[in-house]
Amino acid sequence: MTPVRPWDAFTSAEAQVRAMVADPRWQGLSVPDRAHVLAARILVTPDGDRWLFGAHARWHLHDPADGRWYLAPPPRGVRARQVRHAAAELPPEVIPYGPDFHAEPGSTQAFIGPDVPEGLTERLRVLLRASGRKSELDYPLTAFDEIFASDVPSTVAAIWGTIMWCAYAPAFDGNERLITVFGEYLRRPLPGDEWVRWLPAPPLLDLVTLVSERRRAGHPRAALRLAAVMADTAQILMSDTRFRPRALALLTMVEPMLRRPGLDDTLTDAEALRAEWLDRCPRRLCRALLVENDVAAHFSHAVYDLVEALAFMPDPPMAAATFLADLSDSKGTLQARLDHRLRHAYGELDRAGLTGTSASESTAPEGFPVLGRVLTKPAPALEVAPPDRASAAAVLGAAYATGLAWGRLTGAKVPQSGLAGQTALVRRVVHERDDNHTDLT
């Protein structure tokens, strides 16, 4: 007999809200009416926290101190009861508008773990070989010149840029063949440590620049070829959930100009073309584009992913705070962006002098790394020990994505060797085999 899963208030409330938003009548309701039906389905836990399943099909936590609602995954398995909340107190940004509930499913896994499927890698290798035979005179390198040698055509850069922009977290381990195929084109070794390549995530503007420059130079066919290479790359990446949401978004932006050559001929300015591409993306893909349209919201979603990836820990907010403690926060703005549970956990680490740990690391004169600050009293509770490699990859991916999102928001640089907490976790799993390729479709 199949065991029956125990009833969970959060799962039940989530199912109710999903059913309401999926009902065609939802689109016809006014915002106050939507707020009214949502306010009747708010949950309260024994500690007094109030939870709402709302916009972007994600949970929001009410902060009793300032009355704001913060993105935060709920404590699954905790007893909760339904309460009525004043509908007027629900801000519009937490109320689902409909398409936001249809976000393409993705994965927070980095590439320290299940490698990219061999078939996907081979298809990209074939595309790369064909693109590498183009002339750099016809396809000059107008972006990604810090990655590639000057004689590399921009068709190669278009493939690289698409992979990196579409990746949830571009952190590749040492035996990841998806980036080793670019070896002959690189200007210098890729950043990272002896185990992981912690690669930067390019802005969409870098990809657009490759296309707009060819248009501005009077070579519209070359511009279309570059756009087609991006579309071909994104189409291949669609089969892996770590790329799928942004790959689908990029396809919706690029394909119209391929179907209608000349569509964007008047847009030779890179910023104008970028804005046009973003406008084409349907609202159901909005979360995939927050990295371009709303960097503050993008950071909040990344933190949500991080806490969710740490659900196996006894205290996920405290575990997440240990990774947030690695972020450089010279202006002291980080805590104000966290929900009160995370804010409290981060505050404990801050008072113990354990924040900004990656930013404070340095190298001794002899070239040996200086160890990060030692966690004293809180150490046993803060040790992150994922139950399996897939869980470790999810934590590493979410933690690195959070670091990149913080950089987009504040300008803070992510260390080329990775953040301290991530590096420590990599050391725990680096000895495990990951050459059994797992198809994540």
What pTM was computed for the model? Answer: 0.91
For residue 365, the model assigns a pLDDT of 34
For residue 433, the model assigns a pLDDT of 57
Give the pLDDT band (50/70/90) at residue 71. very high
Please answer whether residues 206 and 250 qualify as being in contact, where contact means their C-beta atoms are separated by less than 8 angstroms: no
For residue 263, the model assigns a pLDDT of 81
Give the pLDDT band (50/70/90) at residue 87. confident
162-213 residue pLDDT tens: 999 999 999 988 768 889 899 999 998 888 877 889 999 999 999 999 999 9
Burial group, residue 192, by CB count within 10 angstroms (0-12, 13-18, 19+): middle
Residue 227 has pLDDT above 60, yes or no: yes
For residue 303, the model assigns a pLDDT of 98
For residue 99, the model assigns a pLDDT of 92
Residue 1 has pLDDT above 90, yes or no: no
Those residues whose C-beta lies under 8 Å from the C-beta of residue 394, and which sit 6 or more positions away, are: 107, 108, 109, 309, 386
Give the pLDDT band (50/70/90) at residue 343. very high
Length of the chain: 441
Question: What does the pLDDT average to over 291-319?
Answer: 96
Q: Give the lowest-confidence range in 2-11, 59-68, 319-328, 358-367.
A: 358-367
* Percent of the chain's residues with pLDDT above 70: 90
For residue 328, the model assigns a pLDDT of 92
261-273 residue pLDDT tens: 878 878 889 999 9
Residue 107 has pLDDT above 60, yes or no: yes
Question: What does the pLDDT average to over 357-372?
Answer: 44
Give the pLDDT band (50/70/90) at residue 6. low
Helix axes 270-280, 244-259, angle to 10 degrees: 110
CA distance 140 to 135: 8
For residue 112, the model assigns a pLDDT of 81
Residue 373 has a CB neighbour count (10 Å cut-off) of 16
DSSP 202-249: PPHHHHHHHHHHHHHTT-HHHHHHHHHHHHHHHHHHTTSTTTHHHHHH
Helix, coil or strand: residue 267: coil
Give the pLDDT band (50/70/90) at residue 374. very low
Question: What does the pLDDT average to over 235-254?
Answer: 96
Q: Give the mean pLDDT of the chain.
A: 88
231-242 residue pLDDT tens: 999 999 999 999
Please answer whether residues 5 and 12 qualify as being in contact, where contact means their C-beta atoms are separated by less than 8 angstroms: no
Among 197, 239, 202, 249, smallest CA distance to 396 is for: 197
